[in-house]
Structure 1
Amino acid sequence: MSPTRVRDLVALAAFAVVATWILASSFYGSVPPISAFAGASLFPVAGVLVVVGLLVRSRLRTRRIGPGPGQLHPITVARAVALAKAAALVGAGAAGVWAGLLIHLLPLRSSVRAASEDTPGALVGLVAGIVAAAAALWLEHCCRTPDDGADEPAH
């Protein structure tokens, strides 16, 4: 399995920006109000990813990986990598969606009250998506064994 490439995440986010901007331009009037809590939903996910990353990293550093008691099973590490890859895609996609919505909202803020009220929630969502993607990339990095240093770096 190859490392997640940042350029792939940027491409996904760019696609989501364009698609969301087109949809928001057409259907913004029928969208319910956006609260800050709507955008913040990825912050707990990012927290879980960081905790799992710390756990895996500490076990790898002390070489406590294996099937025995008190060790982290290798399949669990593989599952953490799969989680990290999926979460990176979700974070990048979410960041793109919120950025596309912001691109639509920012010019309308002075003339449309709903746009000015929805902007903080969209900003929180953008930040949460970026944080989740970054935490996922970090978890993926933490799952690498010390011998993996020769692999292609993420770019």
Structure 2
Amino acid sequence: MGPTRKRDLLGAAVVVAIAGYLVVLGAYRWFPPITLLTGISLLLVAAAEFGWAFHVRAKIAEGEIGDARGWLHPLSVARSVTVAKASAWVGAVMLGWWVGVLAFVLPRRGGLRVAAADTPGVIVAAVSALALVIAALWLQHCCKSPHEPPEDPEGVLE
């Protein structure tokens, strides 16, 4: 399993943003109100992943990986990488969705009261999704062994 590539996440976010805009274009009148709390769950997951990333990073730096009491089990690190990869993809898809919704509501907020009321909630949700992507990539980075070679020394993958 290789590292999650940022360009793949960006591609997914762009595709979902375009599709999301088209969905919103046709179905916005049936949407429930978008409040400031709409995207907060993504922000909570991002905060948890940031915290876990710093914990994992500290344990790896101290060499406290193994079965000893108070040490971090290697399977926990492997599971953390899996969670980080999944979270990065969820965050990218949700970021694309909220960018698509934002592209719809921003130009219409002057003439459509509902769009004006939804704009702050959409912005919070988009920022929360971006925070999840960043936290997931940071967690994935923190799970690397200190003895691992660089991901792409010759720049072949970028």
For normalisation by structure 1, the TM-score amounts to: 0.96
Contact 1:40/1:124 (8 A) holds in 2: yes
What secondary structure sits across from 2:18 in the alignment? helix
Partner of 1:81: 81
Number of residue pairs the alignment of both structures matches: 155
The one-letter code matched in structure 1 to 2:23 is: L
Q: CA RMSD in A?
A: 1.2
Partner of 1:27: 27
Query: What CA deviation, in whole Å up to 9, does each residue of 1:24-80 have, x standing for no partner?
Result: 000000001100100222111011101110111001000000122221100000000
Alignment gaps of 5+ in structure 2? none
Say whether 1:134 aligns with 2:105.
no
Q: How far, CA to CA, are the matches of 2:36 and 2:59 in structure 1? A: 36
Superposed structure 1 runs of 4+ greater than 3 Å apart: none
Say whether 1:64 aligns with 2:49.
no
The one-letter code matched in structure 2 to 1:99 is: V
Partner of 1:11: 11
Q: How far, CA to CA, are the matches of 1:126 and 1:64 in structure 2? A: 36
The one-letter code matched in structure 1 to 2:16 is: A
Identity rate, percent: 40
Alignment gaps of 5+ in structure 1? none
For normalisation by structure 2, the TM-score amounts to: 0.94
Moved more, 38-47 or 134-143: 38-47
